[in-house]
Amino acid sequence: MHEMSLAEGILQIIEDTVHANAAAQVRSVLLEIGVLSHVEVQALRFCFDAVTRSTVADGARLDVRAVPGRAWCMPCGASVPLQRLGDACPQCGSYQLQVTAGEEMKVKEIEVA
């Protein structure tokens, strides 16, 4: 159900954009989803198709771009790549990491007709 509320949020953004641009139809939507965000892309696609039925985004293509995870390592004093939440710092092995990227999901582009 997490993905359903995300899909509804995406539709809200799409509708606001469409109204602001006086457009009639949405061709495609580009999403950026962080690899640490716990968003199930297949489930999100399914929910997106369901919530956009009979809306301006009906039949729109959903493109998904994965955003790599990054974290700030306290001992290293540096930004390091993070594949998974709970992983250690790849440089020093510390777990004192503050996630800085990869947990977000955002609508990057909306292509209207």
Give the count of residues interacting with Zn ion (CB under 5 A): 7
d(CA 68, CA 37): 10
Q: Which is nearer to Zn ion, 46 or 95 (CB)?
A: 95
Q: Which of residues 40-99 bind Zn ion (CB under 5 A)?
A: 73, 75-76, 89, 91-92, 94
| Cβ count within 10 A of residue 13 | 13
Q: Which is nearer to Zn ion, 1 or 86 (CB)?
A: 86
Residue 52 CB contacts under 8 Å (≥ 6 apart), including other chains: 7, 11, 14, 58, 59, 60
Q: Does 21 bind Zn ion (CB under 5 A)?
A: no
Measured from the CB of residue 85, what is the shortest distance to Zn ion in angstroms? Answer: 16
Residue with tokens 């990227």: 101
Binding site for Zn ion (CB under 5 A): 73, 75-76, 89, 91-92, 94
